[in-house]
Amino acid sequence: MSVQYSEDNIRTLKWNEHIRLRPGMYIGKLGDGKSYDDGIYVLLKEVLDNSIDEFMMGNGKEIRITLSPEGKVTVRDYGRGIPLGKVEAASSQMNTGAKYDSKAFKKSVGLNGVGIKAVNALSSAFTVQAFRDGKSKLVRYSGGEVIENPDITDTDEKDGTFVSFDPDESLFRDFKYRVEHIETLIKNYTYLNTGLSIYLNGTRYFSKNGLVDLLNDNISSSINYQIIHLKGPDIEVALTHGNQYGEEYYSFVNGQHTTQGGTHELAFKEAIVKVIREFYNKSFDVTDIRNGLIAAISIKVEEPVFESQTKTKLGSRDIGPEGPTVRQFVIDFLKKELDDFLHKNSEVAESLLRKIVESEKERKAMEGVKKIAKERAKKVSLHNKKLRDCRVHLTDEKSEFAEESMIFITEGDSASGSITKARDVNTQAVFSLKGKPLNCYGLTKKIVYENEEFNLLQAALNIEDGLDTLRYNKVIMATDADTDGMHIRLLLLTFFLQFFPELVRKGHVYILQTPLFRVRNKKESRYCYSEDERKEAIAALGPNPEITRFKGLGEISPDEFKNFIGKDIRLDPVMMKKEDQVPQLLDFYMGKNTPSRQVFIIDNLIIEEDVID
């Protein structure tokens, strides 16, 4: 049967209709607020970027943010304020903004004239008000449609801009802001803009020492030498080596946290190796130089090119129209400044050398073990099929679905079988554990290769040489909701935090939430993730419904599992902050202090009654 194609099939969408129809093009994924890159945080960031750009241009030293329990956000800055005659255009007309004029905003983040319009279109209520020279202009919207547009009025308010928005609940379903994600966003702004005060519900965030403060606030292990802090026109760098495995980077462009790196971060990694080799006149292995490296780099670029509207990866090759390439700019800076620093600070240079030599010794001691382990991994993965892979991976840069790639780490054949049958083979992989993994706390990285489960898991994730080759964006622990399942989660987390802490720090590790109960009658089934949801379902479905308690993932049929790992998948991110004191946490919960841990368990024991009669 042929499909009719005529003039009636051609439709022109209004600017706000297109944003609401295709929000992913403008803010990435929608999400519910659990993940730091969910859409509601992008909305806040888009508004804040405009206020930050004002500060960068020398206007306004204070930004005030309020967040209500219901999710309403307000942002007030004290910059110049949007020109009053352009308030409506700046908030509702695509490709409209001052940042096309490089004289007004030379090194800004938002250059596409889209950001605040996306916030407007995706909010059920959006208000923008500008204050300039004793005058004020306000416009109110709903879903991008103007609902109030009064004339310019007199005001006693200081110059600046006020924006408030309520994310549209029809798009951001069951969303909730997590303060820790907002705090991280705000802190990063202050590190990169020393002298700027940002208030969140009255709490002040301020940085005096820039990227040094960033590292001090994020380093959770002891460090080998004082933080090296280097600053120049349009570039700032801070670095040290910690007593941990792997590498840890924080990179920024024009104040934007590029969580996925880009040309500037690649140049930094290359430059560090080049400078250190030349300074010590030794051809150290790259992994020995960068093992334990903790660093932050911030650069400013004219008209930066990002690989998406959410600006998480820099694609620019050049600093500016007449400047050097980003790569050459970063390398030249470090070749001069880092080399000078090491010559002037012999104690730091000696400590750095000792760290590199220690890494070299450990690497060489493990070479034989790694060779045997790799051969074993090839044979096991070929014959036992512990990994049911997907078709798209995070390393597939040209795939629009790369960010959706994930791997479920399951316990046992029954659980992995259900997930395997229910999964999307394009983006969802499954790795099956044979049993409880080893408690690796206090062991050296040698165990990663000697232990079959850890060796195969590392190989599946492809993280032996760092996160640059990580194959999946989300690493999801999918264990039973019982004590054994909880224990397996702890053992896996211990493994990641011991040997691959950056996997957790970068927000790649999650816990899959699956329903504890199914409540149903002849007409309807409801899946409940908590006791409260179970009670609500019983009340809604009437007397004597059938109640099933899922004690293991293997008890959930593949057809049902599709509902829980599809578009409505519930994931809890594993987050890590400096105040978590990871070494101390691991020592207490996974170490050999059995008596004190036993007392802790007894003091915090919660006994639940059986909820199924």
Chain segment 269-288, per-residue pLDDT in tens: 999 999 999 999 999 999 99
Residue 113 reports pLDDT greater than 60: no
Residue 575 reports pLDDT greater than 60: yes
Residue 37 reports pLDDT greater than 90: no
Q: Can you read off the two tokens belonging to residue 244? A: 């941990």
- Name the segment(s) of the chain with CATH classification 3.30.565.10: 15-205
Q: Can you read off the two tokens belonging to residue 391? A: 């078709």
H runs (alpha helix) in 385-482: 412-422, 446-450, 452-461
- Residue 176 has a pLDDT of 93
Domain 211-362 has CATH 3.30.230.10: yes
Output the 3-class SS for 323-352.
CCEHHHHHHHHHHHHHHHHHHHCHHHHHHH
d(C-alpha 519, C-alpha 354), whole Å: 62
Q: Can you read off the two tokens belonging to residue 18? A: 């297109």
Q: Which residues pair with 232 in a beta bridge?
A: 235
Q: 385-514+550-582: what fold?
A: Rossmann fold (3.40.50)
Determine which of 35-39, 127-131, 223-227 has the lowest per-residue pLDDT on average. 35-39
Share of the chain above pLDDT 90, in %: 52
Q: Is 594 helix (H, G, I), strand (E, B) or coil?
A: helix
- Residue 597 has a pLDDT of 75
Integer angstrom CA distances of residue 343 from 25, 337, 339, 350, 491: 49, 10, 6, 11, 44
* Predicted confidence band of residue 291 (pLDDT cuts 50, 70, 90): very high
Among residues 274, 207, 215, 275, the alpha carbon closest in space to that of 240 is found at: 215
* Predicted confidence band of residue 99 (pLDDT cuts 50, 70, 90): low
Is there a contact between 276 and 284 (Cβ–Cβ < 8 Å)?
yes
- Residue 446 has a pLDDT of 86
Q: Which residues pair with 135 in a beta bridge?
A: 132, 154
* Predicted confidence band of residue 383 (pLDDT cuts 50, 70, 90): very low
Amino acid at 397: E
d(C-alpha 565, C-alpha 579), whole Å: 32
Helix (H) or strand (E) holding 137, with range, is strand 135-142
- Residue 480 has a pLDDT of 86
Which DSSP category does 314 fall into? B
Backbone CA torsion sign across 237, 240, 241, 242: negative
- Name the segment(s) of the chain with CATH classification 3.40.50.670: 385-514+550-582
- Residue 438 has a pLDDT of 92
Integer angstrom CA distances of residue 114 from 25, 250, 253, 259: 11, 26, 18, 21
Share of the chain above pLDDT 70, in %: 90
- Residue 509 has a pLDDT of 95
- Name the segment(s) of the chain with CATH classification 3.30.230.10: 211-362
User: What totals of helices (H) and strands (E) does the chain contain, helices first?
Assistant: 20, 23
Residue 405 reports pLDDT greater than 90: yes
Residue 604 reports pLDDT greater than 90: no
d(C-alpha 38, C-alpha 200), whole Å: 19
* Average pLDDT value over all residues in the chain: 87
- Residue 425 has a pLDDT of 95
- Residue 100 has a pLDDT of 43
Q: 15-205: what fold?
A: Heat Shock Protein 90 (3.30.565)
Output the 3-class SS for 34-69.
CCCCCHHHHHHHHHHHHHHHHHHCCCCCEEEEEECC
Determine which of 64-78, 157-171, 533-547 has the lowest per-residue pLDDT on average. 533-547
Residue 381 reports pLDDT greater than 80: no
Residue range 401-430: mean pLDDT, rounded: 89
Among residues 210, 217, 179, the alpha carbon closest in space to that of 196 is found at: 210
Rounded to the nearest 5°, which phi and psi values hold at 376? -65, -40
